[in-house]
Structure 1
């Protein structure tokens, strides 16, 4: 049984930028389903917003920095926090918040697969958390080297076992 949901970087500038994430509507729907299931089970939801430096497109408070409006996060009830690195832990108090909430297992979803999802999964395990990665709950954009679908599958395969428990989102119980 997972005891916290961590949503990473589902922000307007990434979700709706010039390069659209792979299957973005499906992934958003999957994340929203997990939010509703976590809420029903009274499981805490943590939401990371990547914050760029002053003057960047995703500086704090800018339109592109905002969470995507269709993401069913409730800022009054969920734990929304800023990060400036690919890891949700570096330079934040996430580990302390999780410890205070007695969380030892995380379900990690969001964007971007090869950066913040990958890094946060690996660091979470190094910090002693168990991590569940819904293979259908994270996304990214195509790159010059690989299509997004291949990047996602590669990371699902690479992280599975050593770092995460790889599952389909519908099988996650909170």
Structure 2
């Protein structure tokens, strides 16, 4: 059994949106550090792109759908896949791909905390994967109800224990 890194929705349309993600540069640097450590350990990296319907700003192939250019993903080496729902599992073959390479533990990072990070952590745990959530490896934008920092803190606390093992990114070992 092995570990894998799952990067969610680090796309131009979200990362560079008019409402910028909370601490986006720090989160990007953290994710890139995890990519480097996963590569050094020869662990698989999976990268999800949220894909909107034809004609939407994040339709497949559109400029906003592209991965953020500063993300150190290697499209020839890493496993890129498209999703249309908050869960990285619904409507994709991610679970089968993870099982094919004998992944047991999944380190989940990216955007947006209250949607795709939350949902994917919960579903991964339900599917029997051990989930590691770097508390400093995911982000979102402010909402009318809560600022992004509060959303992130809330989800880190809520997901910890029942759905994920909460750690600092610096403490993730592949």
Band the TM-score falls in, shorter-chain normalisation: over 0.9
* Equivalent residue number for residue 51 of structure 1: 51
* Equivalent residue number for residue 155 of structure 2: 155
Show CA shifts across 1:95-135 (max 9, x none).
00000000010000000000000000000000000000000
Structure 2 residue ranges without an equivalent (≥5): none
Q: CA separation in 2, counterparts of 1:14 and 1:40?
A: 28
- Any residues of structure 2 matched to 1:17-166 within 5 Å, and which? 17-166=17-166
- Supply the RMSD in Å over aligned alpha carbons: 0.9
Show CA shifts across 1:51-97 (max 9, x none).
00001000000000000000000000000000000000000000000
Q: CA separation in 1, counterparts of 2:115 and 2:139?
A: 10
Structure 1 residue 2: Cα displacement:
6.3
SS in 2 for 1:3: strand
Q: CA separation in 1, counterparts of 2:2 and 2:65?
A: 28
Contact kept in structure 1, 2:2 and 2:102, CA below 8 Å: no
Q: CA separation in 1, counterparts of 2:61 and 2:9?
A: 14
Structure 1 residue 44: Cα displacement:
0.1
Contact kept in structure 1, 2:117 and 2:138, CA below 8 Å: yes
Q: CA separation in 1, counterparts of 2:3 and 2:20?
A: 31
Contact kept in structure 2, 1:2 and 1:172, CA below 8 Å: no
Contact kept in structure 2, 1:2 and 1:107, CA below 8 Å: no
Structure 1 residue ranges without an equivalent (≥5): none
Structure 1 residue 33: Cα displacement:
0.1
Q: CA separation in 2, counterparts of 1:57 and 1:128?
A: 34
Runs of 4 or more above 2 Å deviation: none
TM-score normalized by the length of structure 2: 0.99
SS in 1 for 2:3: coil
Aligned residues between the structures: 174
